């Protein structure tokens, strides 16, 4: 696939999302045009030859009579050949240590060669000093050494012991046998064997390990490809080809687009090269489209000469790998898609070269970033931070959950920690803890570096410009680079990974990586993103996230009925309450009796530490047990009592900052979901994060009616969406903004939205609608929504929502206390948006058409006046006596005035 990108302003390449789990292949054959995935890996093998890798632990004593401690698989194999393996192992000398392997041949008819690898101590586990899960790392090393030794023997197929953790075994072996050899002749290439799991049923773990290894190998391949082949354009072509096959959307944006976005920092770096800059925007939707994405930013400097501040020759050799951040973002997103993780990701990759051409940016130049900040260029070799800065600003368009940028940035990281760990800078303790634990499990460790104001002052110490691209003072280059990037981070959580120290491997530092670009820390990124899902899914059991209950506080809402007899000695619990009482061996009922039996509808009593799982149990009064439909009140009082109880219990636990609230169904899970979800929601979009009210996760307890629970949550989400639209201040929620929000919200749910502007309304002769809009500087907009849940020819239900985003009363000005709430005068429009989205999410088989006229009613110089005459769309003429009856002009099915002589109405 070849794309002509030079002469386009914006080139978008979108792919249909048809996600499939495909087997892992190794990328080993690339043409000179770029990277291609192929399975014919070259080399020669012995036909049908098979090898086996099994493990042995260190001996606890020097006594030769003590039995050798194999892995479980090793023991079975040794027994199958009547102990000959153990016999030969003892004869051949001391047992292999961790990182060593011993080969044996012809022990049985199935395997040509057996590699017995040392795994170190059998009792290895988490080492808090080393920040490492040593057992998993030993498995990676053992499987790697054994696989590589058998690869050298040209074994066609290598079967690998799981060593008790198939995922780590897959990672070690798949990383070890891979080597960059795309530009070698086929007959000179190292043979690539097939890898299979032996004597274990943990195929899920094996598959995950292969996916992680394939991701890191893809990053290694992209980074190892010479820079004259892997240009910005070539990288974009490869990204499109690799990701679109996995159902991931890729947009390729070129120089003209970056200029319209005012990305002055990014474009300044590209000026010295003949290769045009490219900006990639990658979108993976693994869950609902309206879920906020995690944004991954990868620095994509495909070659860094240092610009006019030219690097030394020995440094230039490795500068083809300076686009490691971009490679890791592509590889990570592909792996996430293959693993079908339920998360939304947005990848941003600025691609360019830093060359000393005639137009190259110069020390002393001032460039303007996307947010308007002026940057003094002190050193053109500090370019990656400029490339990333504009991407950080651009990321705010996606309202991200958090932002992670990955950059091969500063030599200081290698000077500080060598190749042992990636440097992490973050403003979030939670993100650091998650990625730290991810590194513990993958063996690819990270270390947190300071992000202090001390370094910020050094990068902003100029009276002439906003920021310096290097900063003042000696040393601390990596910290000052992070402080520089912090100036461009939109509000929210952010993490910066400086990977220059781990960019390449000498083949000795990590036993399962051969010499070349390392692709680190790709596997840690994948593990980190999977940790984000521990709150809402059961992926933790595959990704070693541990027991979520150890860190997440849980609360439980249970119901209790009002006693019919005031002198009753016991209360009536719900079925779930009875189960919990039995689980606590009667302690729950005992506590209720001590605290007083009488509980009215909505009363809440809290009990602590009665159960190991739930830190707090909220018992909520449900009123009388026999509540049902009340024809006088025209209400199902039983369901309303459930909503009230779920709401009261959830809100009380929310005030205690409980992170996860479990709610029993109370006999009707839909009503319970509605009450709880609406109660914990509050409009706080404009509050700083530190002052926002905690919103807990809600889950159904002790019931299988997940369908009813889901429907209740959808209904509550719809009402909360309407509340949010109505609560947004009118200077933000203008007609234009409302229309933009409607498009963003509804199009993600497969609903068509047409935006029609003032000229269209004039051609339709909507005199009543246009009359109201005359007094405002905001242009009127008319929205037409279409949802097709059944055959297109079926007649739709039409929903019309009045959309006056602010109603001052016009010339008949409202009182100040009335105007406070007039931002909510577009409630009809908000309800139509929310209702239509909920119908689409519930996939109801009905056709809906929504009509929303949007405008403001303001007392401008052109405002309509009492006594004016306006003509509606049906040619009926209205005379206005009171201006504030503006809804009647928006919704012309209603008559607004009595008959008047000479007029239609």
Spot the catalytic one: 69, 90, 311, 876.
311
> Rounded to whole angstroms, how far apart are CA atoms 540 and 342?
13
| Three-class SS state of 437 | helix
H helix runs in 281-323, sequence order: 313-316
Strands 847-857 and 803-807: parallel
Contact call for residues 311 and 304 (beta carbons, < 8 A): yes
First CA to last CA distance, the chain: 66
Q: How far is CA 817 from CA 527, 727, 814, in A?
A: 53, 16, 8
> Rounded to whole angstroms, how far apart are CA atoms 197 and 203?
8
Phi, psi at 533, each rounded to 5° = -90, -5
Residue that is written with structure tokens 């993976």 in the block: 284
Residue that is written with structure tokens 């979009």 in the block: 685
- Exposure b/e, 356-387, CB count within 10 A at least 16 = b: ebeebbeeebebbbbbebebbbbebbbbbbbb
Looking at 443-589, which runs of residues are DSSP E strands? 446-448, 467-468, 493-498, 504-505, 516-517, 554-561, 572-573
| Three-class SS state of 798 | strand
Residue 869's nearest CA partner among 857, 859, 879 is: 879
Torsion 767-771-777-783 (CA) sign = negative
| Three-class SS state of 866 | coil
Q: Which two tokens stand for residue 565?
A: 């007899």
Torsion 873-874-877-882 (CA) sign = negative
Q: Tally DSSP H helices, then E strands, for the chain.
A: 28, 37
Contact call for residues 640 and 666 (beta carbons, < 8 A): no
Q: How far is CA 140 from CA 170, 709, 832, in A?
A: 8, 43, 56
Adjacent-strand bridge partners of 284:
345
Phi, psi at 503, each rounded to 5° = -60, -40
Strands 50-56 and 113-118: parallel
311 is catalytic: yes
Q: 428: which DSSP letter?
A: -
> Rounded to whole angstroms, how far apart are CA atoms 305 and 352?
12
Residue 46's nearest CA partner among 150, 175, 143 is: 150
Spot the catalytic one: 148, 320, 385, 562.
385
DSSP string, 150-205: HHHTT-SEEEEE-TT-HHHHHHHHHHHH----TTS-GGGSPP--EEEEES---HHH
Looking at 6-82, which runs of residues are DSSP E strands? 10-13, 50-56
Contact call for residues 195 and 173 (beta carbons, < 8 A): yes
Is residue 708 reached through a cis peptide bond, with omega within 30 degrees of 0 on the bond before it?
no
157 is catalytic: no
Count of CB atoms situated within 10 Å of the CB of 252: 22
- Helix 522-532 / helix 429-442 crossing angle, nearest 10 deg: 120
> Rounded to whole angstroms, how far apart are CA atoms 37 and 311?
33
Could you give the residue numbers annotated as active site? 311, 385
């Amino acid at each position: 696939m070849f794309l002509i990108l030079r002469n386009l302003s914006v080139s978008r390449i979108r792919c249909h999302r048809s996600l499939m789990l495909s087997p892992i292949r190794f990328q080993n054959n690339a043409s000179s045009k770029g990277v291609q995935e192929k399975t014919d890996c070259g080399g020669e093998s012995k036909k049908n030859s098979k090898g086996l890798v099994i493990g042995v632990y260190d001996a606890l004593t020097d006594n030769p009579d003590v039995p050798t401690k194999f892995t479980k698989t090793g023991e079975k194999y040794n027994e199958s050949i009547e102990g000959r393996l153990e016999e030969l192992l003892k004869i051949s000398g001391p047992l292999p240590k961790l990182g060593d392997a011993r080969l044996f041949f012809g022990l049985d008819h199935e395997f040509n060669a057996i590699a017995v690898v040392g795994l170190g101590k059998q009792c290895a586990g988490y080492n808090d000093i080393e920040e490492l899960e040593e057992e998993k790392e030993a498995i990676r090393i053992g499987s790697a050494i054994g696989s590589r030794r058998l690869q050298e023997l040209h074994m066609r197929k290598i079967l690998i012991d799981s060593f008790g953790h198939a995922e780590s075994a897959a990672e070690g072996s798949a990383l070890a046998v891979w080597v960059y050899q795309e530009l070698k002749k086929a007959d000179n290439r190292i043979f690539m064997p097939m890898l299979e799991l032996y004597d274990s049923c943990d195929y899920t773990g094996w598959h995950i390990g292969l996916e992680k290894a394939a991701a890191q190998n893809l990053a290694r391949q992209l980074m190892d490809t010479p820079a004259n082949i892997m240009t910005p354009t070539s990288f974009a072509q490869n990204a499109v080809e690799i990701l679109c096959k996995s159902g991931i959307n890729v947009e390729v944006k070129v120089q003209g687009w970056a200029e319209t976005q005012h990305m002055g920092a990014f474009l300044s770096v590209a000026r010295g090269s003949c290769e045009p800059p490219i900006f990639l925007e990658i979108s993976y939707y693994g869950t609902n489209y309206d879920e906020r994405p995690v944004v991954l930013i990868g620095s994509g400097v495909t070659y860094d000469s240092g610009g006019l501040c030219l690097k030394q020759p020995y440094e230039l050799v490795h500068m083809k790998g300076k686009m490691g951040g971009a490679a890791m973002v592509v590889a990570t997103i592909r792996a996430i898609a293959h693993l079908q993780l339920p998360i939304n990701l947005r990848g941003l990759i600025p691609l360019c070269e830093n060359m000393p051409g005639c137009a190259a940016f110069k020390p002393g130049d001032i460039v303007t970033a996307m947010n308007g900040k002026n940057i003094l260029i002190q050193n053109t070799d500090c370019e990656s931070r400029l490339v990333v800065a504009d991407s950080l600003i651009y990321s705010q368009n996606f309202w991200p959950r958090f932002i992670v940028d990955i950059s091969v940035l500063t030599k200081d990281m290698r000077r500080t920690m060598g190749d042992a760990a990636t440097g992490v800078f973050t403003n979030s303790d939670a993100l650091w803890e998650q990625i730290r634990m991810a590194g513990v499990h993958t063996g690819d460790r990270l270390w947190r570096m300071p992000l202090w104001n001390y370094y910020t002052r050094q990068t902003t110490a100029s009276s002439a410009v906003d920021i310096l691209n290097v900063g003042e003072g000696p040393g601390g280059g990596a910290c000052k680079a992070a402080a520089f990037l912090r100036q461009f981070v939109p509000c929210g959580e952010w993490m910066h990974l400086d990977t220059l120290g781990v960019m390449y491997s000498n083949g000795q530092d990590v036993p399962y990586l051969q010499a070349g670009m390392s692709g680190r820390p790709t596997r840690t990124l994948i593990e980190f993103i999977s940790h984000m899902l521990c709150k809402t899914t059961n992926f933790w059991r595959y990704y070693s996230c541990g027991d979520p209950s150890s860190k997440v506080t849980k609360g439980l809402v249970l119901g209790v009925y009002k006693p019919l007899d005031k002198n009753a000695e016991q209360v009536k619990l719900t079925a779930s309450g009875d189960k919990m009482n039995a689980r606590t061996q009667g302690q729950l009922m005992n506590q209720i009796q001590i605290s007083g039996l009488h509980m009215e509808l909505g009363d809440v009593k809290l009990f602590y530490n009665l159960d190991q799982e739930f830190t707090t149990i909220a018992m909520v009064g449900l009123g009388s047990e026999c509540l049902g439909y009340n024809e006088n009140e025209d209400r199902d009082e039983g369901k309303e009592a459930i909503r009230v109880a779920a709401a009261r219990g959830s809100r009380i636990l929310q005030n205690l900052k409980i992170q996860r609230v479990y709610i029993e169904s109370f006999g009707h899970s839909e009503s319970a979901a509605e009450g709880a979800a609406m109660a914990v929601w509050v409009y706080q979009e404009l509050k700083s994060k530190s002052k926002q009210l905690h919103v807990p996760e809600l889950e159904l307890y002790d019931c299988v009616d997940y369908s009813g629970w889901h429907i209740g949550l959808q209904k509550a989400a719809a009402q909360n969406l309407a509340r949010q639209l109505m609560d947004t201040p009118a200077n933000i929620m203008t007609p234009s903004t409302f229309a933009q929000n409607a498009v963003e919200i509804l199009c993600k749910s497969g609903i068509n939205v047409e935006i029609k502007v003032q000229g269209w309304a004039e051609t339709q002769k909507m005199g009543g609608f246009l009359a109201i809009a005359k007094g405002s500087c905001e242009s009127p907009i008319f929205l037409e929504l279409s949802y097709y849940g059944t055959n297109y020819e079926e007649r739709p239900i039409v929903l019309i929502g009045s959309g006056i985003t602010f109603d001052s009363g016009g010339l008949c000005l409202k009182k100040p206390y009335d105007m406070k709430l007039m931002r909510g005068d577009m409630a009809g429009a908000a309800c139509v948006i929310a209702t239509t989205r909920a119908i689409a999410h519930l996939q109801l088989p009905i056709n809906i058409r929504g009509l929303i006229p949007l405008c403001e009613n303001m007392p401008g110089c052109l405002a309509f006046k009492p006594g004016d005459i306006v003509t509606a769309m049906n040619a009926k003429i209205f005379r206005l006596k009171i201006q504030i009856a503006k809804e009647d002009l928006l919704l012309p099915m209603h008559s607004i005035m009595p008959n008047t002589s000479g007029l239609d109405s």
